[in-house]
Amino acid sequence: MFKEEVSKSTIGMKTKLPLGFKSAGIHCGIKKSRKDLALIVSDYPAAAAGVFTLNKVQAAPVILSKKHLKESDNFYAIIVNSGNANACTGERGYFDAEQMTEQTAELIGVKKEEVLVASTGVIGEPLPMEKIINGISAIKNYLADGDEKDAAEAIMTTDTFYKTESSSFIIDGKEVTISGIAKGSGMIHPNMATMLGFVTTDAAIDKDLLQEMLKNTADKTFNRIVVDGDTSTNDMVLMLSNSASGVVITKGSDSQKTFEAELFTLLKKLAIDIVKDGEGATKLVEVKVEGALTEEDAIKAAKTIALSPLVKTAIHGEDANWGRIIAAVGYSGIDFDPDKFEIFINGTQILQKNYIVTLPNAVANQTLKSDQIELVVKLNQGNESANCWTCDFSEDYVKINGSYRS
Amino acid sequence: MFKEEVSKSTIGMKTKLPLGFKSAGIHCGIKKSRKDLALIVSDYPAAAAGVFTLNKVQAAPVILSKKHLKESDNFYAIIVNSGNANACTGERGYFDAEQMTEQTAELIGVKKEEVLVASTGVIGEPLPMEKIINGISAIKNYLADGDEKDAAEAIMTTDTFYKTESSSFIIDGKEVTISGIAKGSGMIHPNMATMLGFVTTDAAIDKDLLQEMLKNTADKTFNRIVVDGDTSTNDMVLMLSNSASGVVITKGSDSQKTFEAELFTLLKKLAIDIVKDGEGATKLVEVKVEGALTEEDAIKAAKTIALSPLVKTAIHGEDANWGRIIAAVGYSGIDFDPDKFEIFINGTQILQKNYIVTLPNAVANQTLKSDQIELVVKLNQGNESANCWTCDFSEDYVKINGSYRS
């Protein structure tokens, strides 16, 4: 019931920030002309949570934000720059990241440990700190509630469009809002570029529960867009909850379920926005692997399919080339019996067990005409399943592979 | 001394088959017009060795060739078709692969277990056996010594040029020849396409030693072109040695060392030919990782760098973006201290320990002007090293990533 209310109320609406939050995005001079500095501020003390890159090489802002999350209970701001990742910059880089939190803290009158920081862009070059410090002084004048368009633009690198989503829903008779911005990349392999996400809510959620919910939902969304183990030096998703709605989310309650479901949907939308921004992408593809022995196997198989250039070019060419799907699972490293393999595309079975094909190729290819593809692989080995999202490969990449059958 | 003789004697020469071998390549109708059936025949009984895909899903010709290698000691032929992989084709596929060996065996008057078979092309479609059987009847008339151009052409799929190499050298005062043909692919990721290699020699080598030398050399050549664990359903390298030169290679002898070194050089040339045929490749890149704790770590780091689209676009754009190289090692899963990292490009150090950059960017970028790039990463953790080969990423892929710093 809540869900319906929400979906109706948000149709055609702009996104909006939760109560007590403001954001801004400006050009401070790191990039030539595009926005490159974003600030999100909470008027009230907020609990914070974060998930971070697994890369062995971690950028200074990753190290510092993790440290602040351990040191403080209350947070008031997230400061982010794009155009320079402040990664592989040694001690100076760490000092610069600290400076960013200090300047921001000073600006809004809090402690530097109560500010989180993120960066994205070129690796190995020192931050142009004069520009950033001037930017931080200036950005306060642009802080506004409403949508987060400017902040979302200011965190972009190779992204071709900004990514914002928000959702308002009723818990205990009161409205709660979650809002998020994200950036991904325009690359063929999203796994090589920095992914950032910043989520805010006006619910009251204690730190541990917030961390638990962010981890759970990010694992099934941001970490399912063919990313995960292969992460950049700077990846992070941060979340702030500032209690301004007066709605308290307690662990194990129905309201937690509602909230977590909404958070999942919001992060999923942002994750899909990142996929849609893939280079030359023309189709959004959800890969679902069912009947695996373990969830880990299902994730591994789904991601291997989603990463396969051969599968992605076939989908682009609307060629239901199931052999490429089986071959990808074959080198994914999981245990399975190829004879039990079944494949469904947008609900139509294109491969039965024992490699039996009942549809003529032309009919099977029809299943790929849509710009949204659901590719289901049933391994028939066990009961575990997982999904992930990816996009097709188009254009020049296809020139060679598209003529493969000629 | 032998080496010099060889390199001089082969400059500008056509490749040639070893004594007692003939080959042919014809169009039998699997593809529309290009050659699609190859045959290599030995006049004398030959010992055989093979290395095969690690994919969990193995094509019928892989299964059958492995079986024949176990069953027989003498081999007389390798029959190969392109245009259809005979993979994921169930019992019928296995029967068809057997038919190919049977027809070939009949043609030359040997047993079917004395014939090896390979296929490459579309997965999941039955072989057009009538065309293939007719082709096998016809191909005998085209068998010739000399070079292997026709056979090399007939095993191509998305390859843009055929790949043959041969080497003649003196052992115990007699000439020994090794010849090889290979096919790779025109894809961005060579790891997703079938790689085939067929090697012949007129030396006398027993089965076990032949297998050992083929495995050793293939591991350091074909398996070092960003491939390995991720293999197709059909990958294989087969080798025949037919004793026709009268030169016997025994285990542990100097002649084994000479022979194995020549075999390594030949397979390396074929592997590099495959890399050079990468889509839009303009630079050949050798990645060397030194000072790793284990050889496995060195291989893992080298391959991760070689697979990184960010590294490959930077090399294409002649941008000595060392941060991308460190970041790739960072998610390779190996243990290392980023502060100890050093990077050299074509002999020039572009990064010192502790992220110290002494060269201006413009000077560092000069190191990438060549069309042959040697990228050396010193981890300074231990004493193990490894290398691999890859190519740059060009054109449209670069459009987005090339403008990253703007």
- Chain B CB contacts of A125 under 8 Å are 323
Instruction: Report the largest interatomic distance among the alpha carbons of chain A, rounded to a whole angstrom.
Output: 69
pLDDT for A5 beyond 60: no
Active site residue A194: yes
Report d(CA A30, CA A120) in Å as an integer.
11
Residue A42, beta-bridge partner list? A21
Share of chain A above pLDDT 70, in %: 90
* Cβ-Cβ contacts under 8 Å for A404 (sequence gap 6 or more): B121, B122, B157, B158
φ, ψ for residue B42 (rounded to 5)?
Answer: -110, 135
For the ranges A50-59, A67-76, A245-254, B225-234, the lowest mean pLDDT is seen at: B225-234
Task: Give domain B284-402's CATH architecture.
Answer: Roll (3.10)
- List chain B residues with pLDDT less than 70: 1-13, 185-193, 227-231, 279-280, 394-406
* Interchain contact, B323 vs A192, CB within 8 Å: no
Cross-chain Cβ contact B56/A329 below 8 Å: yes
pLDDT of residue B8: 34
Closest residue by Cα to residue A116 from A178, A58, A153, A63: A63
Nearest to A192 by CA among A235, A238, A236, A237: A235
Local structure of residue A278 (DSSP, 8 states): S
CATH topology identical between A2-276 and A284-402 = no
**Chain B contact for A293, CB < 8 A?**
no
pLDDT at A46: 98
Tokens of B132: 């293939």
Hey, what amino acid is at B79? I
The reported pLDDT for the residue numbered A395 is 53
Task: Give B238 to chain A, closest Cα distance, Å.
Answer: 21
CB A89 to CB B122 under 8 A?
no
Q: How far apart are CA B122 and CA B92, in angstroms?
A: 16
Catalytic residue among A157, A177, A194, A258: A194
Per-residue pLDDT at A226: 75
Which positions in chain A touch B400 (Cβ < 8 Å)? Answer: 158, 186-187, 279
What local confidence, expressed as pLDDT, does residue B55 receive?
87
B124 lies within 8 A of chain A by CB? yes
Task: Enumerate residues 169 to 228 of chain B having a beta carbon within 8 A of any beta carbon in chain A.
Answer: 186-189, 192-193
Confidence of residue A365 (pLDDT cuts 50, 70, 90): very high
Chains A, B: CB contacts within 8 A come to: 167
Q: How far apart are CA A177 and CA A237, in angstroms?
A: 18
Question: How far is residue B210 CA from its own chain's centroid?
Answer: 17
CB B324 to CB A90 under 8 A? no
If 0-12 CB within 10 Å is exposed, 13-18 middle and 19+ buried, where does residue A75 land? buried
Return the CATH number of the domain spanning residue range B2-276.
3.60.70.12
d(CA A253, CA B99): 66
B45 and chain A in contact, CB less than 8 A = no
Q: Cβ of A88 under 8 Å from any chain B Cβ?
A: yes
**Residue A22 near residue A140, CB atoms below 8 Å:** no
* C-alpha torsion B270→B273→B279→B281, nearest 10: 140
**What is the value of pTM for the model shown?**
0.85
Residues of chain B with Cβ-Cβ distance to A327 below 8 Å are 55, 57, 87-88, 123, 232-233
pLDDT of residue A252: 96
Best mutation site among A230, A277, A403 for testing chain B: the one with the most B CBs within 10 Å? A230
Half-sphere exposure of A131 (CA within 13 A, CB side): 17
C-alpha span between B82 and B118 (Å, rounded): 9
Report the residue of chain B nearest A31, measured CA to CA: B406
Are A122 and B32 inside 8 Å of each other by CB? no
**B183-228 pLDDT per residue, tens:** 986 554 434 468 999 999 999 999 999 999 999 999 999 988 874 3
Interface probe with A: pick from B185, B231, B297, B326, most Cβ of A within 10 Å: B326
B33 touches chain A (CB under 8 A): no
Q: Is B400 within 8 Å of A230 when comparing Cβ atoms? A: no
Q: Where residue A113 falls among pLDDT bands split at 50, 70, 90?
A: very high
**Confidence at residue B191, expressed as pLDDT on a 0 to 100 scale:** 40
**For all residues of chain A together, what is the average pLDDT?**
89
The chain A residue lying nearest B278, using CA atoms, is: A400
Dihedral sign, Cα of residue A354, residue A359, residue A360, residue A364: negative
Three-state SS sequence of chain B: CHHHHHHHHHCCCCCCCCCCEEEEEECCCCCCCCCCEEEEEEEEEEEEEEEECCCCCCCHHHHHHHHHHHHCCCEEEEEEEEEECCCCCHHHHHHHHHHHHHHHHHHHCCCHHHEEEEEEEECCCCCCHHHHHHHHHHHHHHCECCCCHHHHHHCCCCCCCCEEEEEEEEECCEEEEEEEEEECCCCCCHHHCCCEEEEEECCEECHHHHHHHHHHHHHCCHHHCCCCCCCCCCCEEEEEECCCCCCEECCCCHHHHHHHHHHHHHHHHHHHHHHHCCCCCCCEEEEEEEEECCHHHHHHHHHHHHHCHHHHHHHHCCCCCHHHHHHHHHCCCCCCCHHHCEEEECCEEEEEHHHECCCCHHHHHHCCCCCEEEEEEECCCCCEEEEEEEECCCCHHHHHHHCCCC
CB B296, CB B180: distance < 8 Å: no
CA of A45, closest CA in chain B: separation in Å? Answer: 35
A13 Cβ under 8 Å from any chain B Cβ:
no
Whether ipTM > 0.85 holds is no
Tell me the three state secondary structure of residue A40. Answer: strand
Strands (E), A253-371: 284-292, 342-345, 348-351
Q: Which residues of chain B lie closer than 8 angstroms to A310, CB-CB?
A: 187, 192-193
Least confident of A3-7, A76-80, B53-57: A3-7
Residue A326, chain B, CB below 8 Å: the answer is yes
Nearest to B56 among A31, A330, A404 (CB): A330
Are A127 and A119 spatial neighbours (Cβ–Cβ below 8 Å)? yes
Among candidates A193, A310, A403 on the partner chain, residue whose Cβ is nearest the Cβ of B192: A310
Short-list B230, B225, B193, B402, CA closest to B317: B402
Comparing alpha-carbon positions, the chain A residue that sits nearest to B398 is A187
| Domains in chain B: boundaries | 2-276, 284-402
Q: How confident is the model at residue A10 (pLDDT cuts 50, 70, 90)?
A: very low
Query: What pLDDT, in 10s, does the model give residues A148-182?
Result: 999 999 999 878 899 999 999 999 999 999 999 99
Higher pLDDT, residue A14 or A108: A108
The closest CB to that of A397, out of B188, B334, B354, belongs to: B188
Flag whether residue B2 sits within 8 Å of chain A, measured between CB atoms: no
Give the whole-angstrom CA distance, residue B37 versus residue A349: 34
Residues A253-296 have pLDDT tens digits of 999 999 999 999 999 999 999 888 876 678 899 999 999 999 99
